[in-house]
Chain A
Amino acid sequence: MAATPYDVLIVGSGASGGMAAYTLARKGINCLMLDAGPPVDFQRDRALKAVYDLPYRGFDKPGRLPHVLQANEFNANVWADETQNPYTYEPGNDFNWVRVRLVGGKSLFWARMSFRLSDYEFKAKDHDGYGDNWPISYADLKPYYDQVEPIFRVAGRKEGWPQLPDGVFLEDQSPDSLCVQKFKAAAAKQSIPVTKMRRATGQGQLASSLNLLLPDALATGKLTIVSNAVASRVTTDKITGLANGVTFIDRHSRRELHARARVVILGASCLESTRLLLNSGIANSSGVLGHYLFDQFYITQTVQAVMPEACGGKATRAMIGGGGYIPRFRNLNTRAKDFIRGYALDFGTGGTPSPDRLPGYGSSLEEKLAHYKGAGLSATTMGEVLPRYDNFVSIDPSAVDAWGIPALHFQARYSDNEFNMARDAVNTLEEVCHDAGFEVLSKTDKMFPPGYSIHELGTCRMGDDPKTSVLNKWNQSHDVKNIFVVDGSSFVTGGSQNPTMTILSLSMRASEYLAEQMRSGSL
C-alpha cells in the first residue's frame, strides 16, 4: 500500500469522509480511505432477540458505556468501547463523547433530522455582536444543500422562514392530528412557528454513507477502502512542510503502517480529526486548534403532557399522533431578556407518558398508565451553545487508547446563556401546552452533560484570519495547504439545528474546491 500513489487519502468513512470520497472519486480522483472500524453487515451482525434472552434483561452490562446514555443492551455493541477508546475530563464536568467506530460511522444510526443553517448562524456576530461570523454565508452553501438533500431524500414541508431555510424536499403532505393542530394553534398565539419534522428518508430508512455515498464512489473504481486502520498521525515532508500521508495501526495486529498521498482529508468526526492534528503537532500556528468546542444542549422530555380528550382509552389516530418541529423563534426580531441566540423543539404525540416521571407505584401507577395510554405529548429542547475559547480539548499525556495513541482531555461546561435559555424553553412549552388544553404531568429544564446531543462541533474552526482560525473558508488548513478537515470541527457556530446536512454540504463544497485545485495544478 505504501507504494501506491493515491491522489487523496481520506480518514473516516462517515457522512463527512463518505461525501468527500463520493465527490472526488466521481471526478476521477484516486482516493484511499482509512477507517478505524470494521465493515458492518446488517444481516450477519444483527439477530432478533427477546429482551429476556439478553444476559442483563435489557439493562446491559453495568458500567460498560457510562457516557453513552443512548445505549441499551440491544445496541451496546455498536458504540465505541470506552475502555479501548478512553478520554479524560475534569471531575464533575463530564463530557459524554458518543462514538461509532464502524465503516459508515454514525451515519449508520443517526436519527436523520435534516436542517439547513441560515445567516442567523453564518453571520451570528453581525446579528448580536457575540463571537465570530463564519467566513461564508448561507448563499455560499445553498447550492450544496440543494445537491445533498436529494441524495439523502429529505422529506419536509416548505415554510419560507428565514431562520430555517427550505430545502429540496420530498414534500410532506401528511395531515396533522387534532392534538398537533391544537398545539400549533396555541403556539401560533405566541408567534411560535411549528412545521413538520425534516428528515432524511434515504433508502429503507437507512440514510448512511454506507448506502448513499460509498457505493457510487466505489463504482468508479477510484476508491479503495481500508477498514480496521486506526490513523495515529498525519506525516509531513520535512522540506516542504506539506502533508505526505498518514501513519496508521492495524486494529487487530497492532502493526504500524504508513500510506502516502498528495492530499490528506480528515473526516474522522469532529473531535477525532482534531485529536489527529494535535497528535501530529501541525496546523496550529493560531493556537486555537482544540478550542471553541461546543454542541447543542439537549433536554429530553422537557415537558410531558397529556391531551385530556384522548385519555381513558379514547386516543384515536385522527385525534392524536405525529409530531413536529419548532425552529428557533427567540432573538430573531426581538431580544430575549437574559440570553442570546435560541433553541428548537422537537415534539411527538400519541405516546404514553414515561412511568419514570409519574408518581405512584404498583396498581396505582399501572392504572394511571392505562388511563394516559396513547394520550401523551413530549418534547425535546435542543439549544444553541455559545462557542467559547475556554471550552476545549487537548491531549492528555497520561492517557492512551488501546493502540497507544494519546487520548483527549475535555474541558467543557455550559454557561448562564444556556441555563437561561433552558428555563425559557420549559416555561414557554408549558404555557403552550396549557393554552392547548393539555395537562402537564412533568417538566424539567435540566440538560444532559455536554456531548449528549452527539452534535459536538468546533475545535478546528474556519475563518479568514489564520491567527484566529485553523481552516480557511474551503475547510483547508491555513498552515498546511494540502490538509482539509471536512467534519463538524470546522463549524464556527452551530445554531440549534442538527448539523449533518451542513457537514455533508461543507464536505461536498470543500471536495469540489480541492478537485479544481488539483486539476489546475495548484495542489
Chain B
Amino acid sequence: MPPLNGMAGALDAQAPEFLDFLIGISPAPRQQFYRDGLELLDARSREKFGQIFASLSATQAAEILRPLDEPWTHDPPADPLARFLRDAHLDIRRATQNSRPAMASAPSTGRRPGGIGLYWLPIDPIV
C-alpha cells in the first residue's frame, strides 16, 4: 500500500508494526498462517531472483505478487502463497486505512478512511 495522492501509505501508518502486534496476539492457526506465508514469500523470491522479498526491485516484487492480479474467487486459491497474499493484502490495506496518519491525510471531501463511529462500551460486564 504505497502513499497515493497525498494519502499516507502502509509505512507511514506503521501497518507492519501494527500487524506484528495483531498477529502476535491472534489464535495459533492465524500466527502459523502468517509465519508460513512469510517464509513462502521469501522462498519464492529466492527461487526466482536469488534474494529475499524485501531486497527485490519493484518489478521483481510485482512478479511475485502477480497472484493478486487474478480475479477473485470465493474459495481461497490453491497456491498457498496466493492464499497468503490475498489475506495479508487486505490486512495491510485495512491497517493502513484505519490509522491516524491515513485519516489525517485524507482529502477533506470524500470518504474518511477508517472513519468515526459509535463505539459500544462494555455494558455492565461481569467482574
Task: State the CA gap A51–B119 with chains docked (Å).
Answer: 9
A residues less than 8 Å from B71 (CB atoms): 359, 442
Task: State the CA gap A36–B2 with chains docked (Å).
Answer: 49
Interface contact B120-A45, CB-CB below 8 Å:
yes
Q: How many A-B residue pairs have CB under 8 A?
A: 117
A237 proximal to B (CB < 8 A)? no
User: How many B residues are at the interface, by size bracket?
Assistant: 35 or more
Q: Among the listed B22, B74, B122, which residue makes an inter-chain contact with A444, where contact means beta carbons less than 8 Å apart?
A: B74
Interface contact B123-A51, CB-CB below 8 Å:
no
Surface stretch bound by B, among A17-25, A74-82, A169-177, A456-464: A74-82
Q: A57-B18, A59-B22 are in contact. Are A48 and B119 (CB under 8 A)?
A: yes
Interface residues of A, CB < 8 Å — how many? Answer: 48
B47 proximal to A (CB < 8 A)? no
Q: Among the listed B94, B116, B123, which residue makes an inter-chain contact with A50, where contact means beta carbons less than 8 Å apart?
A: B116
B residues less than 8 Å from A356 (CB atoms): 72, 90
A160 proximal to B (CB < 8 A)? no
B35 proximal to A (CB < 8 A)? no
A residues less than 8 Å from B123 (CB atoms): 37-38, 40, 45, 77-78, 102
Q: Among the listed B27, B72, B94, which residue makes an inter-chain contact with A358, where contact means beta carbons less than 8 Å apart?
A: B72
Interface contact B94-A58, CB-CB below 8 Å:
yes
Q: Which of B44-82 contact A (CB under 8 A)?
A: 65, 68-72, 74-75
**Complex: chain B residue closest to A74, CB-CB:** B117
**Complex: chain A residue closest to B114, CB-CB:** A51
Separation in Å of the A357 CB from the closest CB of chain B?
4
**Complex: chain B residue closest to A356, CB-CB:** B90
Q: Among the listed B1, B89, B94, B118, which residue makes an inter-chain contact with A47, where contact means beta carbons less than 8 Å apart?
A: B118
Q: Among the listed A50, A56, A62, which residue makes an inter-chain contact with B27, where contact means beta carbons less than 8 Å apart?
A: A62
Interface contact B103-A62, CB-CB below 8 Å:
no
Interface contact B65-A361, CB-CB below 8 Å:
yes
A residues less than 8 Å from B2 (CB atoms): 362-363
B residues less than 8 Å from A442 (CB atoms): 71-72
Interface contact B121-A52, CB-CB below 8 Å:
no
Interface contact A77-B22, CB-CB below 8 Å:
no
Separation in Å of the A256 CB from the closest CB of chain B?
16
The 3 closest A-B pairs by CB, nearest first: A38-B124, A62-B26, A444-B74
A residues less than 8 Å from B126 (CB atoms): 84, 251-252, 402
A residues less than 8 Å from B103 (CB atoms): 50-52
A366 proximal to B (CB < 8 A)? yes
Interface contact A446-B69, CB-CB below 8 Å:
no
13 contacts between A and B (CB under 8 A): A40-B123, A47-B121, A48-B116, A50-B114, A50-B115, A57-B22, A58-B94, A59-B91, A62-B26, A74-B119, A228-B124, A361-B65, A442-B72
Interface contact B98-A46, CB-CB below 8 Å:
no
A residues less than 8 Å from B115 (CB atoms): 50-51
**Complex: chain B residue closest to A52, CB-CB:** B100
Per-residue A-contact encoding for B83-102, CB less than 8 Å = 1, 0 else = 00000011101110011100
Interface contact B74-A359, CB-CB below 8 Å:
no
Interface contact A46-B119, CB-CB below 8 Å:
yes
Separation in Å of the B108 CB from the closest CB of chain A?
16
Task: State the CA gap A47–B116 with chains docked (Å).
Answer: 10
Interface contact B117-A48, CB-CB below 8 Å:
yes
Task: State the CA gap A301–B70 with chains docked (Å).
Answer: 19
Interface contact B119-A54, CB-CB below 8 Å:
yes
Separation in Å of the A38 CB from the closest CB of chain B?
4
A residues less than 8 Å from B118 (CB atoms): 46-49, 74
Task: State the CA gap A44–B120 with chains docked (Å).
Answer: 9
Task: State the CA gap A102–B120 with chains docked (Å).
Answer: 13
A residues less than 8 Å from B30 (CB atoms): 62
Q: A52-B99, A52-B103, A361-B65 are in contact. Are A77 and B122 (CB under 8 A)?
A: yes
Beyond A38-B123, A358-B72, A362-B4, 8 additional pairs, beta carbon < 8 A: A37-B123, A38-B124, A45-B120, A49-B118, A63-B26, A251-B126, A359-B68, A359-B69
**Complex: chain A residue closest to B71, CB-CB:** A359
Q: Among the listed A74, A84, A228, A361, which residue makes an inter-chain contact with B120, where contact means beta carbons less than 8 Å apart?
A: A74
Task: State the CA gap A356–B114 with chains docked (Å).
Answer: 15
**Complex: chain B residue closest to A352, CB-CB:** B111
A residues less than 8 Å from B94 (CB atoms): 57-59
Task: State the CA gap A468–B39 with chains docked (Å).
Answer: 57
A143 proximal to B (CB < 8 A)? no
